[in-house]
Amino acid sequence: MIKTPYLLFLGDAPDALAAKVAQGIKDWRPDHAVGQLRLPGCKADLGLPDMTLAEARAAGVETLVIGVANRGGVIGETWRACLLDAIAAGFDLASGLHTLLNGYPDLVRAAQENGTALHDVRVPGIAYPIANGVKRTGKRCLAVGTDCSVGKMYTALAMEAEMRARAMNATFRATGQTGILITGSGVPLDAVVADFMAGAVEWLTPDNDPDHWDLIEGQGSLFHVSYSGVTMALVHGGQPDALILCDEPTRPHMRGLPDYKAPSLETLRDTALALARVANPACQVVGISVNTQHLSEADALAHLAEVEARMGLPAVDPFRQGAARLVDALAAI
Amino acid sequence: MIKTPYLLFLGDAPDALAAKVAQGIKDWRPDHAVGQLRLPGCKADLGLPDMTLAEARAAGVETLVIGVANRGGVIGETWRACLLDAIAAGFDLASGLHTLLNGYPDLVRAAQENGTALHDVRVPGIAYPIANGVKRTGKRCLAVGTDCSVGKMYTALAMEAEMRARAMNATFRATGQTGILITGSGVPLDAVVADFMAGAVEWLTPDNDPDHWDLIEGQGSLFHVSYSGVTMALVHGGQPDALILCDEPTRPHMRGLPDYKAPSLETLRDTALALARVANPACQVVGISVNTQHLSEADALAHLAEVEARMGLPAVDPFRQGAARLVDALAAI
């Protein structure tokens, strides 16, 4: 559990895209995002107050979150000086970078001396159990995709926001480093040892109130041969009551796999539902989330209408249209 | 790669079952099994020559393999004295125990001083790549089960033995610790980090001669919610050309999951084949291996005949009947 609220470290981000983790935190957990810290040359701006470490401390910030993806994967000297200052000022640090904070002896030593924490969210923090498959109370929704990186996290976060606006009982459950930094907790599923993947998902989505929904962040795709095992662990460990199908209709091939075509939504529906029913025979497919960022507004709306008619399920782009109709579908089961 | 041949360490095994790893090595790689080493109180006997360390050295043994599962998971004092003697005599050690040889400082120090290796086959020895899904040359067969522990390893080893007897070009590919100790190499798939599972299977079954068959050891089951992600990585990383369906027909429920029933062979066939064809559209189901150890001979034969007629595929128990008909089916595609 990462302590909130956050000061978002943007470093010397070369553009806005490099700061997308920080942007995600600001978009989805605005209460966590007290301010931003930018180094000379930073080209990103979240529109948050620029703060010094002292100002952030005074504003109650607990953790400096590295909200920027750097080039080369190493934490350079200019960053490190700032991070050491943050540790000396009593902040915890949190990072989703491949290069671990805990891999830098000077940061580790400083954190030990100051009694602060270094959170590397790519590294599993606990020993997860083997999954036991026992039926849990409460309800769970999982987004599954025709491919990787089609908008599964965005869909789950948009649904959570809509549900909270309706005063429904809902929790986004992060399974990747960006999601973990946004929410402050979760499981870095792709870094978990194979035997414990499904158990980690069970641990993440425990017994809950009968009306509570976990909105589980999906990973990979059952049809992506590099990562399908991770997806399978979500389908079985998550025991979903509801599936949302996610698609990005303009991909020429599966991400990173030039020889593989994405499956149809029908194939995804049939495959994912049959597998999900092994763990939860009551599971249903309730809606479709389409990432239409590469279509014009007119083409997007036409595509969504076609998908909705063909599949007999609400089909929306939550970025263009919000997630209200997906939540309506969830509330109806 | 573990150096062969082996001296099989049976320790103080309380019964023959405790020495089943050693038995597997003797059964499937008799050329590797030069002798056995038993401590006072050992109740197991493989029928191999009892050898001292000096006799084994003289007979050309390279590695002392711990072929016994001990109680409690720790390596006791009586074992350790013998293992230290073995290291001092220049042997490598190999173990599939949960407790690692490399977790004992005295063993590690002795191995360093004597220039010998400590192989803990539960621990991945290399950094596996992310799977790339590129089609590989050569052919691959994967055993998939209705449940865990239904005889997938036995089936693959029996097929390999039959194929070698026919001078076919075939290699058993181990994916679990027993298989790795039997063959001297492989991937401990359940201990691999999630993101690299399918890549580890690709690594294990690389490009090969057009007529070469990899017989890939299966793990888990697509229908076992604790381990299905591992199975999925085998189905996609292995790119199988042929699937063998494995069943144990007397189980009241899935292993370790009292609330889960095993799927029918028809459901396993349809699910596994559809998923396998994502990675290899030419994949076929070629035969059925049934573990009939809990049936009488008459009941076993009647059950196999019923399955064969129902499924339209050769159905055999390789333990009772050998794997010839499964190999015939493989040779026909």
- What are the residues whose beta carbons fall under 8 Å from the beta carbon of B333, sequence distance 6 or more? B241, B242, B284, B286
Per the CB < 8 A criterion, the answer to whether A154 and A326 are in contact is no
Which residues of chain B are modeled with pLDDT < 50? none
Per the CB < 8 A criterion, the answer to whether A174 and B203 are in contact is no
- What's residue A92's pLDDT? 98
Element (H, E) at B270: helix B265-279
Do B193 and A194 make contact, defined as CB atoms within 8 angstroms? Answer: yes
Residue B41's Cβ-count burial label (10 Å; 0-12, 13-18, 19+) is exposed
> A64 has which bridge partners?
A7, A93
- For chain B, how many residues are written? 333
d(CA B234, CA B224): 14
Query: HEC profile for chain A?
Result: CCCCCEEEEEECCCCCHHHHHHHHHHHHCHHHEEEEEECCCCCCCCCCCECCHHHHHHCCCCEEEECCCCCCCCCCHHHHHHHHHHHHCCCEEEECCCCCHHHCHHHHHHHHHHCCCEEECCCCCCCCCCCCCCCCCCEEEEEEECCCCCCHHHHHHHHHHHHHHCCCCEEEECCCHHHHHHHCCCCCHHHCEHHHHHHHHHHHCCCCCCCCEEEECCCCCCCCCCCHHHHHHHHHHCCCCEEEEEECCCCCCECCECCCCCCCHHHHHHHHHHHHHHHCCCCEEEEEEECCCCCCHHHHHHHHHHHHHHHCCCEECHHHHCCHHHHHHHHCC
Phi, psi of B34 (to 5 degrees): -80, -35
B218: closest CA among B154, B160, B294, B276? B154
d(CA B142, CA B243): 5
Structure tokens at B327: 């190999």
d(CA B251, CA B148): 11
d(CA A45, CA A108): 29
* Interface contacts (A, B; CB < 8 Å): 126
Out of B133, B225, B233, closest to residue A198 by CB: B225
pLDDT exceeds cutoff 80 at A72:
no
The edge-to-edge listing of strands for the beta sheet with A92-95 is: A33-38, A6-11, A63-66, A92-95, A118-120
A169 band by pLDDT with thresholds 50, 70 and 90: very high
Out of A194, A236, A274, closest to residue B225 by CB: A236
pLDDT in tens, A293-314: 999 999 999 999 999 999 999 9
pLDDT in tens, A180-204: 999 999 999 999 999 999 999 999 9
pLDDT exceeds cutoff 80 at A143:
yes
C-alpha distances (whole Å) from A203 to each of A109, A125, A183, B24, B140 are 32, 13, 16, 36, 36
- What's residue B75's pLDDT? 86
- What's residue A217's pLDDT? 98
Out of B191, B194, B228, closest to residue A189 by CB: B194
pLDDT exceeds cutoff 90 at A74:
no
Per the CB < 8 A criterion, the answer to whether A232 and A195 are in contact is no
Residue B118's Cβ-count burial label (10 Å; 0-12, 13-18, 19+) is buried
- What's residue A73's pLDDT? 67
pLDDT in tens, B179-226: 999 999 999 999 999 999 999 999 999 999 999 999 999 999 999 999
Per the CB < 8 A criterion, the answer to whether A156 and A258 are in contact is no
- Mutation target vs B (from A278, A280, A283; most B CBs, 10 A cutoff): A278
* Average pLDDT of chain A, as a whole number: 96
> A35 has which bridge partners?
A7
DSSP 8-state code for residue B167: T
Half-sphere exposure of B152 (CA within 13 A, CB side): 27
- What's residue B76's pLDDT? 79
pLDDT exceeds cutoff 90 at A33:
yes
Cβ neighbours of A259 in B, within 8 Å: 133-135
pLDDT exceeds cutoff 80 at A70:
no
Instruction: Please enumerate residues of B whose Cβ is less than 8 A from a Cβ of A.
Output: 130-135, 189-195, 197-199, 222-223, 225-233, 235-237, 254, 256-257, 259-260, 263, 271, 274-275, 278-279
- What are the residues whose beta carbons fall under 8 Å from the beta carbon of A71, sequence distance 6 or more? A14
CA angle at B78 for the pair B77 and B81, rounded to the nearest 5°? 80
Characterize the bridge pairing of strands B284-290 and B315-316: parallel
| CA-based nearest residue in chain A for residue B219 | A195
Instruction: Please enumerate residues of A whose Cβ is less than 8 A from a Cβ of B.
Output: 130-135, 189-195, 197-199, 222-223, 225-233, 235-237, 254, 256-257, 259-260, 263, 271, 274-275, 278-279
Per the CB < 8 A criterion, the answer to whether A179 and A153 are in contact is yes
Structure tokens at A288: 């479709």
- Mutation target vs B (from A195, A203, A204; most B CBs, 10 A cutoff): A195
- Mutation target vs B (from A130, A134, A226; most B CBs, 10 A cutoff): A226
Per the CB < 8 A criterion, the answer to whether B114 and B278 are in contact is no
- What's residue A125's pLDDT? 83
C-alpha distances (whole Å) from A226 to each of A262, A275, B282 are 13, 19, 19
Cβ neighbours of A228 in B, within 8 Å: 198, 232-233, 235-236, 275, 278
CA angle at B305 for the pair B152 and B258, rounded to the nearest 5°? 50
- What's residue A171's pLDDT? 98
d(CA B73, CA B83): 16
Q: ipTM, 2 decimals?
A: 0.94
pLDDT in tens, A84-127: 999 999 999 999 998 899 999 999 999 999 999 999 999 998 99
